[in-house]
Amino acid sequence: MRKILIITGRYLPGYRDGGPVRSIENLTEWMGDEYDFRIMCLDRDHGDTVPYPDIRTDGYNQVGKAKVWYVPAFSEDVIEFLGEDADVVYVCGPYGDYSRMAMGLKKSGKIKAPLYVASMGSFSPEAFRIKGLKKKLYIAYMKKSGMFRLVTWSVTSMREAKELGAIVGNDSRCVIAADLPRRGTTEHSHIKEEGALKLVFLSRISRKKNLDAIPDILRLADENIHIKLDIYGTPEDGAYLRQCLDKLDRLKKTHPYCKWEYKGEADSTKVPQIFASYDAFLFPTLGENYGHVIAESLSAGCVPIVSDTTPWLDFNEKGCGYVCSDVMAYVKAIEELAAMPEEELMKMQEKCYSYISAVNERSVTKSGYRTIFG
């Protein structure tokens, strides 16, 4: 069985990094019987000052179908040691210290195995709006030093490959490996009321996820709709979260039937049940290279209302959700769903289940990860 060393910032039992943790967990759950997965990551979750309880830091811990080596900080010595007997080294993202270390070790010949780096949407125009100058300087340095020369990139789509090529270089080697879904579906548990809508936003609270667009959307919606909005997410930027909540507070003056609540962080294991208790998932993100939360909303029969900056672009034609290119498209989707009878919404929920089941089957049987791992 081939040994695959995955190096990532954080992993289970952590959950605050959202999609990256879910990506690796889903990968190991689907393919852990085919490959010997070894994961190296930090010994604590995002923002925590103490390690996870009851873990070893001098050896592997069995976590699901993978063995996990936790470290208090990344070092070249440990990366080199763990990579000695790996058949493939797979690094999550180009910007972390561990990414730079792994690429440096590959350049110096201390990592013998093929080195793959997951792009993770890092080169999209939307991603470059945030700390763009710092990222450009880093990439310029990595290119000049030859760090990217021996790397093969893991991307989730042809669009992501083109975005990467435009920044790193069109001669960059890429393999398309779409993220794998969470296994199974969850029965929807909420009964919709006509003229009302129960909405959820569930994601990391960062500018890229665009939570502050939601008050602007709701302000333009019919003020007579009874809207209940719950917000779940780790606040990566406390000032940004307060700004968003202040904007929602000001809605009370014009939309007395619009209620909202910030529910704090969402436990990853409870995400399916959370989605199952809402009518729709409102997610005006500025960009996703995959969007695990979108897949999970579909798997729970929670109708997605998302931006057109994700790979999920066919919801309108499939009748299982809404893809929105401007504010008024979000408003139209909300008003349409609010007026929809329960029986009609149930038909949409069935389309959600059928759609994601077909996507899941295709993504697993034709996974590009088998090309990467060999």
CATH class name, domain 3-177: alpha beta
CATH node for 196-360: 3.40.50.2000
Mean pLDDT computed over 100-129? 92
Predicted local confidence at residue 18, as pLDDT = 79
Measured distance CA(163)–CA(238) in Å, rounded: 30
* 90: β partners: 6, 116
Instruction: Identify residue 314 by its one-letter amino acid code.
Output: D
Question: Which of 91-105, 117-131, 186-200 is predicted with the least confidence, judged by mean pLDDT?
Answer: 117-131
State the pLDDT at residue 189: 84
Cα 339 off chain centre by: 31
Q: Are 38 and 6 in contact (CB under 8 A)?
A: yes
Number of H-type helices and E-type strands within the chain: 14, 14
β-strand pairing of 280-283 with 258-264: unpaired
pLDDT tens track for 23-76: 999 999 999 999 999 999 999 999 899 999 999 998 999 999 999 999 999 999
Every domain of the chain with CATH number 3.40.50.2000 lies at: 3-177, 196-360
What is the band of 127 on the pLDDT scale with cuts at 50, 70, 90? confident
Q: For the segment 218-272, what is each residue's pLDDT rounded down to a tens digit? A: 999 999 999 999 999 989 889 999 999 999 999 988 999 999 999 999 988 899 9
Q: Is the pLDDT of residue 8 over 80?
A: yes
Can you give the pLDDT at residue 130? Answer: 78
For the beta carbon of residue 350, count every other beta carbon within 10 angstroms. 14
User: Mapping DSSP to helix (H, G, I), strand (E, B) and coil, where does residue 199 land?
Assistant: strand
Specify the pLDDT at position 128: 78
Strand ranges (DSSP E) for 64-130? Answer: 66-71, 88-92, 115-118
Confidence check: pLDDT of 86 > 90: yes
